[in-house]
Amino acid sequence: MDGTTHGMDGKRLRGLVGGAFDRRLETGWTPRIEHPFFLNPRLHEEHEKAFGEFLSAAPVALEIGFGKGLFLVGLARALPGWHVVGLEVKVKLVKAALGRIDKAGLSNARILLGDARELLPRYVRPDSLEALFLLFPDPWWKKKHFKRRMLSPEQLREFAGLLRPGGLFLVRSDVPMVLDLTREAACEVDLLEQVASPGMELPITDRERRYIAKEVPYGEVCYRRRIGESDRGAAGSAGGAGSGKPGGETE
């Protein structure tokens, strides 16, 4: 397997994240992290096989940019029958989340280091995710960084295609512009239908915990992938994202 890194449209991803991660994309190099729940399918065929088996063995929830992993670990703890996947570009945050997984004694979570725009189209099958979470994404304020935002109609269309019919897509932010961008982009994605709530109790993130303590306002927008007539039987038998009740903190 080569280390060449491409996006969903086949273009190179340099410039989409910045800094050290951009340099890793250029070389295909990934820091060595030894942990049974850390997978590097780009460089190891056995990890690619293991990740595929993990994704196909149970309902899957995926978080993009999990920070220190409070939400991810809380979700995995609350939904032991699900498999939870986290994607992150910062090595120190990957290690922090793996430590939290160990402390919680969980076996149903896996961590990948890399950009979702590269990893998702390569390793996650269409129509397969029960839930996809994008929590407090970087708003990328500077105009020259707009291309790094993950809330374009094209990107949301790709995300929606990964969800099973009825699957949940949720964005949470303290920046109104981020929520507005999500709503505007989703209006151009026929597969997504906005819903009032996720229909499930969700754990909080590290940032959310700080905001609650400081009374900083934040919000969220929720969508479900539309269910067509041909999808209704499969969606009903699969059990929607609302069939679980994840909640609580994990320290």
How is residue 12 written in tokens? 């190179």
Q: CA-to-CA distance for 50 and 34, rounded, in angstroms?
A: 15
Which residues is 38 bridged to in the sheet?
111
Q: CA-to-CA distance for 82 and 13, rounded, in angstroms?
A: 31
In 3D, which of 141, 215, 136, 216 has the Cα closest to residue 182?
Answer: 136
Q: Of the listed 138, 174, 190, 206, which one is catalytic?
A: 138
Residue with tokens 């990957």: 94
How is residue 179 written in tokens? 């929520």
Yes or no: say if 26 and 38 are a contact pair by the CB < 8 Å rule. no
Q: CA-to-CA distance for 98 and 90, rounded, in angstroms?
A: 13
Measure the CA dihedral 104/44/42/60, to 10°.
-40
Q: CA-to-CA distance for 234 and 231, rounded, in angstroms?
A: 6
Q: CA-to-CA distance for 37 and 94, rounded, in angstroms?
A: 11
Q: CA-to-CA distance for 240 and 237, rounded, in angstroms?
A: 9
- Determine how β-strand 192-195 pairs with β-strand 219-225: antiparallel
138 is an active site residue = yes
Please list the active-site residues: 138
